[in-house]
Amino acid sequence: MKRTMTIPYGDGQKRLGVADSVVLFSVEPKLPPRPSLGQEQDEVRRAVSNPIGTPGLRGLLRPQHKVAVLVDDFTRPTPAYKVLPVLLETLAAAGLAEENVTIIIARGTHRRLSRADMEQKVGQEVVERFEVKNHENDTDLVALGESKRGTPVWINRTVAEADVRIAVGSVCAHPVAGYGGGAKIVVPGVAGVQTIHANHSLCDHPNVTIGVTDGNPVREDMEDVARIARLDFIVNTILNPHKEIIRAVAGDVVEAHREGVKLYSEIYGAKTVAPADVVVVGASPRDATFGHATFALYAGVSMAKPGGTLILVAPCTEGAGDKAGRERFRELAAMAPAELMALIRKGEVSASGGAFDYCYARALNRNRIVLVSENYSEPEARDLGVGHASSVQVAADNALAEMGPDASLGVLPVAGLTVPQQ
């Protein structure tokens, strides 16, 4: 019997049909029904009204307070334009004037957001009514000492000098911090380059992997720095693949985040009995660039046999970029992971991007990767050190044929959101 499966792809989907006997696993998230906008904002309102591990915002705020609201940037799917109206109505109810609230785009080392980008991220009305500005990672910073692991703590001045600091982000799978959300809004979000470099240079520890928080030195260092920076309150969402809010948590940067991790894992956690020879990994919803799409590989790596094939399904709508950039990406990824880590530690490779190059290098050294994307040609894919196929069907048929008659297949339709579990 033939089984037909679908993999999200941009605003549409790709289809794959294989013999049922070949399919070792196909993991779908345990999703609730899609919510309305009103239900999404009600969930945020519920979370803000029931904080975990910290007093409610009414107890933290005074009318004269200066408040810094940290919001993640365009590389994260957090629908801040849905969250902020709820949060800002709470600030207004506490008596805060709009001029006492500054919204900071916690971009880390990513590109600055234009005004149009900001309107898309936080909403046009918010941009018109409030001061919204990009974090600058190399200027206007305040030194706050060192973390327990010796990371120098340089933090955005507006954040450091605020009376109350509130962060808006999302819990999601992450190959370095274990999960996104929580303290990641501070490091790398509103930290200086030196802080980011020192923190991300911890990425060669065995606990630095997708789905691990406790005992993960990168995550624990981030949380230590967030405490030093006195992050008072977080609002973290959990999204479905359509980027709609299905759950939310609020409160303490660690305690609320851990509750978010628990809820997230109940939805996106994946258990398999054995690794497959070929694993199809859908990159949605983080699929605009190849770099973002590689986040989908890390769930696949743990569910594929060493030497097996990972089929990365990603539209990469921002295009293939320039040849020099692709070849630089391949050059770093082709290195032995230990060699690349040495360059990161020496400062010859930026730790901010190098940490992800390191994760990608480990995947590329372990498995063959084939890209399915209509925005990459085969030569452009080769520039990145990966194969290319015109469709998921062609990629899967070829990979299974190469592996032999007993080859097995696994499918992770939203691998970029999936967290492997033992």
pLDDT along the chain (422 residues), means of 10: 90 92 92 96 97 94 96 89 96 95 95 94 96 96 98 98 98 93 97 94 89 96 98 97 95 98 95 90 87 89 94 91 83 80 81 77 89 94 92 96 94 93 76
User: Residue 412 forms beta bridges with which residues?
Assistant: 281
Q: How far is CA 70 from CA 133, 213, 314, in A?
A: 10, 22, 29
Last residue in a domain, options 266, 299, 314:
266
* Cα-Cα end-to-end distance for the chain: 30
Q: Are residues 384 and 280 in the same domain?
A: yes
The verdict on residue 288 lying in a domain is yes
pLDDT on residue 308:
96
Q: Are residues 357 and 393 in the same domain?
A: yes
Last residue in a domain, options 219, 239, 266:
266
What is the three-class DSSP state of 129? Answer: helix
Q: Are residues 71 and 220 in the same domain?
A: yes
Domain with 412, as residue range(s), is 2-27+272-420
Q: Are residues 9 and 97 in the same domain?
A: no
Tell which phi-psi region holds residue 286, choosing left (phi > 0), alpha (psi between -120 and 50) or beta.
Answer: beta
CA 14 to chain centre: 23
Q: Are residues 372 and 285 in the same domain?
A: yes
pLDDT on residue 203:
87
Give residue 10's identity as a one-letter amino acid code. G
Q: Are residues 173 and 258 in the same domain?
A: yes
Last residue in a domain, options 230, 251, 266:
266
pLDDT on residue 367:
93
The verdict on residue 32 lying in a domain is no
Domains held by the chain: number: 2
Q: Are residues 19 and 69 in the same domain?
A: no
The CATH number of residue 367's host domain is 3.90.226.30
The CATH number of residue 70's host domain is 3.40.50.11440
Indicate the burial class of 419 (C-beta count within 10 angstroms; 0-12, 13-18, 19 or more).
buried
